[in-house]
């Protein structure tokens, strides 16, 4: 059953098209990721799905309920964990959950039971009666995860849930998200620009760029579509050496980024000696070479011609080499 379904969903702000005709289906119980750089349209899409913003065009339904025609009903069956902390610092962790439950009309006994259970699930039971102003950033995120689940939503939106957290705390939040998804069985939509986060958590990922879903599938399927291994070469004279690479038919694709070549190749172990020989014969010095399997970062670069990091910093150069001749 589709928990979320959109058709032609579009949002414009003046001349800016933030979300561009998105068609999407997310299944019940799925942990779905929207992966893309800042400004790609992730949060705008979630805000339309949660009735915070009205679509300019198109439609969206949450369990069959229109976000434009039945906004109150939609709000009653969804939960949101926002990018920015939104818990009340002058209340305790437990009081924050109880207040949230009252706002959603959760009966007294149920909200008290749910609050204690969820605080235990996110390992805050020992800090439940402490004021939130004394919580660390990671503790606040855990509290807000628990709050998002308190009223038994059928869909929970997690908008950059680990933004600004250190790597260790981020991984702990991943564990809580997975645990809550498994135990509560709630459909979850997670927006992120962290590749590893999408890879580790999500059943499926929608890669979003400039407001469009440009690729959709499980993390493994998306990586497998790359069709080979990734060799990274660090060297000078990249432009000159690129001409020499054109004769190697085992190279499927080449991206130039940060002074390095990222080569998508068949049989990476066998192609490395050929690359080293080619460089030596033509007077090029290779500073370093690395072989690995594709990542979602590689998928994004392959689809868009730039990395998410560089998109945020202002762009990168990409070069694709189409093979027309045999091996040298």
120 CB-near residues (< 8 Å, 6+ apart): none
Highest mean pLDDT among 8-12, 102-106, 191-195: 8-12
Q: Which of 117-126, 192-201, 234-243 has the lowest mean pLDDT?
A: 234-243
Percent of all residues in the chain with a pLDDT value above 90, rounded to a whole number = 54
Which structural domain, as residue segments, surrounds residue 77? 2-219
Residue that wins the pLDDT comparison between 259 and 207:
207
Question: Do 158 and 265 lie in a common domain?
Answer: no
Residue 22 β-bridge partners: 9
Above 60 in pLDDT, residue 66?
A: yes
Name the domain boundary from 176, 191, 219.
219
**What is the domain count for the chain?**
2
Residue that wins the pLDDT comparison between 303 and 319:
303
CATH of the domain at 234: 3.30.70.980
Alpha-carbon gap, residue 65 to 251, rounded angstroms: 49
Question: Do 196 and 284 lie in a common domain?
Answer: no
Q: Which of 104-108, 253-257, 304-308 has the lowest mean pLDDT?
A: 304-308
Both tokens assigned to 299 = 């998928």
User: In this predicted structure, what is the pLDDT of residue 237?
Assistant: 72
Residue 257: in which H helix or E strand, if any? Answer: strand 251-257
Q: Model confidence over 18-31: pLDDT tens digits?
A: 999 999 999 999 99
Question: Do 200 and 307 lie in a common domain?
Answer: no
Question: Do 57 and 39 lie in a common domain?
Answer: yes
Question: Do 70 and 162 lie in a common domain?
Answer: yes
User: In this predicted structure, what is the pLDDT of residue 311?
Assistant: 46
Name the domain boundary from 219, 239, 272.
219
Q: Which of 3-17, 54-68, 274-288 has the lowest mean pLDDT?
A: 274-288
Question: Do 80 and 37 lie in a common domain?
Answer: yes
Alpha-carbon gap, residue 16 to 30, rounded angstroms: 31
User: In this predicted structure, what is the pLDDT of residue 34?
Assistant: 95
User: In this predicted structure, what is the pLDDT of residue 121?
Assistant: 87
Task: Assess if residue 78 is contained within a domain.
Answer: yes
Task: Assess if residue 289 is contained within a domain.
Answer: yes
Question: Do 194 and 257 lie in a common domain?
Answer: no
- H helical segments located in 166-313: 167-184, 195-201, 219-224, 238-245, 268-281, 296-304, 308-313
Task: Assess if residue 327 is contained within a domain.
Answer: no
Average pLDDT over residues 225-248: 79
Residue that wins the pLDDT comparison between 211 and 286:
211
Above 50 in pLDDT, residue 239?
A: yes
34 CB-near residues (< 8 Å, 6+ apart): 42, 45, 46, 189, 190, 191, 192, 205, 206, 208
Task: Assess if residue 322 is contained within a domain.
Answer: no
CATH of the domain at 20: 3.40.50.300
Question: Do 262 and 167 lie in a common domain?
Answer: no
Work out the number of other CB atoms within 10 angstroms of the CB of residue 324: 8
pLDDT band at 309 (very low <50, low <70, confident <90, very high): low
């Amino acid at each position: 059953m589709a928990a979320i379904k959109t058709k032609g969903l579009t949002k414009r702000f003046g001349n800016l098209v933030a979300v561009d005709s998105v068609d999407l289906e997310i299944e019940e119980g799925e942990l779905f990721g929207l992966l893309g750089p800042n400004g790609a349209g992730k949060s705008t899409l979630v805000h339309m799905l949660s009735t915070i913003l009205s679509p300019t065009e198109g439609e969206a339904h949450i369990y069959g309920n229109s976000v434009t025609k039945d906004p109150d009903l939609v709000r009653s069956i969804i939960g949101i964990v926002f990018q920015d902390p939104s818990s009340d610092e002058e209340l305790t962790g437990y009081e924050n959950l109880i207040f949230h439950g009252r706002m959603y009309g959760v009966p007294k006994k149920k909200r008290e039971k749910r609050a204690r259970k969820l605080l235990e699930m996110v390992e805050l039971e020992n800090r439940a009666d402490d004021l939130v102003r004394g919580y660390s950033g990671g503790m606040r995120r855990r509290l807000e995860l628990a709050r998002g689940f308190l009223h038994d939503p059928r869909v929970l939106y997690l908008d950059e849930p680990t933004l600004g957290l250190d790597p260790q705390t981020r991984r702990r939040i991943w564990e809580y998200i997975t645990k809550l998804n498994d135990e509560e069985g709630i459909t979850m939509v997670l927006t992120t620009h962290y590749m590893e986060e999408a890879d580790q958590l999500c059943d499926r990922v929608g890669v979003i760029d400039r407001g469009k879903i440009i690729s959709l599938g499980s993390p493994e399927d998306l990586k497998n579509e790359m069709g080979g291994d990734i060799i990274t070469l660090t060297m000078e004279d990249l432009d000159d050496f690129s001409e020499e690479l054109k004769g190697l038919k085992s190279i499927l694709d080449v991206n130039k980024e940060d002074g390095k070549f990222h080569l998508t190749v068949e049989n990476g172990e066998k192609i490395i000696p050929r690359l080293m020989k080619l460089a030596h014969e033509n007077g090029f010095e290779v500073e370093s070479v690395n072989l690995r399997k594709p990542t979602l970062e590689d998928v994004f670069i392959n689809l868009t011609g730039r990395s998410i990091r560089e998109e945020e910093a202002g762009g990168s150069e990409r070069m694709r080499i189409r093979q027309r001749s045999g091996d040298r």
